[in-house]
Amino acid sequence: MDSILIRGGNPLRGRIDISGAKNAALPLMAATLLTDETVTLSNVPRLMDIQTMAQLLAEFGCSAEDRGDGVWDLTTADVTGTLAPYDVVRKMRASVLVLGPLLARCREATVSLPGGCAIGTRPVNLHIQGLKEMGAEIEIEGGYIHATAPGGLKGATIAIPTVSVGATENLLMAAALASGDTVLENAAREPEIGDLIDLLTAMGATISGRGTDTLKITGAAKLHGTAHRVIADRIETGTYAVAAAITGGDIMLAGANHEIVEAALAPLRQSGASVDLLDDGIRVRRDGAGILGVDVMTEPYPGFPTDMQAQIMALMAMSHGAAMITETIFENRFMHVPELGRMGADITVHGASALVRGVRRLKGAPVMATDLRASVSLVLAGLAAEGETQVNRVYHLDRGYERLEEKLGACGADIERVKG
């Protein structure tokens, strides 16, 4: 298995082009199932998860053609199957996003339950409940969600009990082809949902309330093909912003979108880094001054994203002072704590909060993590640590960070992939 080797201590300086957002591209790809015409997506990042979604869509008869340079043509002229098998779904939870579109278009779908994952149990009850309210009949048997809607899905008013990105996306897609109006109350407001709304609208759906927690969707009898550009990845932006701050460097994050990263960068500013919003991106730098401790709590958008929690913890591990980091979205998202501890960080977990007492320096060590964002937090710590850090289980990084070593290497990081 490959690993990443980092010799830390170099302040990173330069420019990083921000890729398209993985978490936007995945639902957009699923949404292409809603039409028999071609949808062309551009700015699609080159990532393992994108390949997995393409492989899954192929199960349903979609021809997913990667034209290079992040442009994909996705066409499902005829749906030839409606089974999302365990073997694919277990690799990537976002696979469950095909449930809504398949059910809306074919009136049936069988999707493996994703099961738990490293960061928590992550049930899909909210997806299922919402689809039932739209008239679907759903049974869980043998680890699979068996869903049918013999008379087609019908618009409904659905109050989603807990804010869920995935459930909002699944219900949005289903509603776009349902008969009548659907109102989603307590919808998630993440920018990736805005991007999905933009695609569905371009495909012919009528949706109001974009950016708010109440979405109204008027179902269409048929949706059509279109072309759409995936938004910039706010988590990648935030991650490289931390890379600049933690190494005392200066990085221009080219193509980063101001509005959608504001919440992710707020604690960075409070920690003493300069964050300048420029016409063509965001510049993040930290001069010789130390890192101040900042308390952070993860929340649904527009709050601080859970997908940035591990990265900000790596920064706080080197702060002058202390920081309380509270995770409110997932129940088990502190697996990076013991690994950061191996590098000399002083962190104690009390329930959903981690008390981080800053240390003067981190020291390189062999580490590994069990999820994507935890892995990248170890890379960030390694960039700032003295000596050599070997990050194992690199496949997590390949799921979500496009050309990580190349992007960091171009800014002066001493980082290489070691084939294993």
Site residues for ligand UD1 per CB under 6 A: 23, 26, 93-94, 120, 122-127, 162, 164-167, 188, 192, 306-307, 329-330
Q: Which residue has the tokens 């804010």?
A: 163
User: Rounded CA gap, 378 and 129, in Å?
Assistant: 37
Fill in the amino acid letter for 253. Answer: L
Quote the crossing angle between the two packed helices 165-176 and 125-133, to the nearest 10°.
Answer: 30
Report the distance separating Cα 98 and Cα 20, nearest Å.
20
Task: Lay out the sheet containing 250-254: strands in order across.
Answer: 13-17, 250-254, 281-285, 274-278
Query: 123 or 211, CB closer to ligand UD1?
Result: 123
Q: Which is nearer to ligand UD1, 93 or 285 (CB)?
A: 93
CB nearer to ligand UD1: give 123 or 180.
Answer: 123
- Closest residue to ligand UD1, based on beta-carbon distance: 166
Cα 322 to Cα 106, 194, 292, 293, 373, distances in angstroms: 54, 36, 8, 5, 22
Cβ 49 to ligand UD1, closest distance in Å? Answer: 8
CB of 231 to ligand UD1, least distance (A): 12
Report how far residue 91's alpha carbon sits from residue 78's, in angstroms, rounded to the nearest whole number: 26
In the bound state with ligand UD1, the residue whose beta carbon lies nearer, of 377 and 389, is 377
User: How many other C-beta atoms are found inside a 10 Å radius of the C-beta of residue 279?
Assistant: 5
Q: How far is the CB of 13 from ligand UD1 (least distance, A)?
A: 29
Please, what is the minimum distance in Å from the beta carbon of residue 254 to ligand UD1? 23
Which among 62, 106, 117, 411 is annotated as catalytic? 117
CA distance 349 to 351: 6
Asked if 12 and 411 touch (Cβ cutoff 8 Å), the reply is yes
Tokens of 167: 């459930």
Q: Which residues contact 211 (CB under 8 A, 6 or more apart)?
A: 189, 194
Q: Is 62 a catalytic residue?
A: no
Least distance to ligand UD1, CB of residue 92, Å:
8
Nearest to 374, CA basis, from 409, 344, 401: 401
CB of 250 to ligand UD1, least distance (A): 28
Nearer to ligand UD1, 18 or 252 (CB): 18
Nearest to ligand UD1 of 123, 142 (CB atom): 123
Cα–Cα nearest to 340, from 364, 308, 373: 364
The tokens for 201 are 């609208």
Q: How many residues does the chain have?
A: 420
Min dist. Cβ of residue 217 to ligand UD1 (A): 18
> Which residue type occupies 398?
D
Q: Return the number of the residue (127 or 393) whose C-beta is nearest ligand UD1.
A: 127
Strands 322-326 and 13-17: unpaired
Which residues are marked as active site? 117
